[in-house]
């Protein structure tokens, strides 16, 4: 799967998973990257991404992980933090 297609699927996944009581969530396109066959797609509130003001940042926004081979996607977990903290290609 191409990265552009995976990113579009991740955006739809994020939209479908968003609750009505949450602020608008947006993919942080500047920080999307590939690691270990996964597209790592971070996101946060639109307000934070517009300002990058840490006071606006939402916590507990685990990135979306898209398997580029099969297209499966899910939110990352704390146990997988090494995938986006220390990425490898």
pLDDT in tens, 44-62: 999 999 999 999 999 989 9
Give Cα 55 to chain centroid, integer Å: 20
Alpha-carbon span 20 to 40, nearest angstrom: 25
Q: What's the predicted TM-score (pTM) here? A: 0.90
Total domain count, the chain = 1
Structure tokens at 66: 């898209």
Residue 88 has what pLDDT?
60
Domain extent at residue 38: 3-85
CA 43, 48, 53, 55 torsion-angle sign = negative
pLDDT band at 40 (very low <50, low <70, confident <90, very high): very high
Structure tokens at 7: 């990113």
């Amino acid at each position: 799967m191409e990265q552009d297609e995976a990113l579009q699927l991740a955006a739809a996944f994020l939209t479908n998973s968003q609750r009505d009581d949450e602020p608008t969530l947006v993919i942080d396109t500047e920080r999307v990257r590939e690691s270990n066959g996964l597209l790592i797609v971070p996101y946060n509130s639109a307000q934070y991404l517009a300002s990058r003001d840490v006071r606006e940042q939402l916590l507990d926004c685990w990135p979306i992980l898209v398997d580029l081979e099969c297209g499966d996607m899910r939110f990352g977990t704390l146990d997988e933090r090494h995938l986006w903290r220390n990425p490898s290609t």
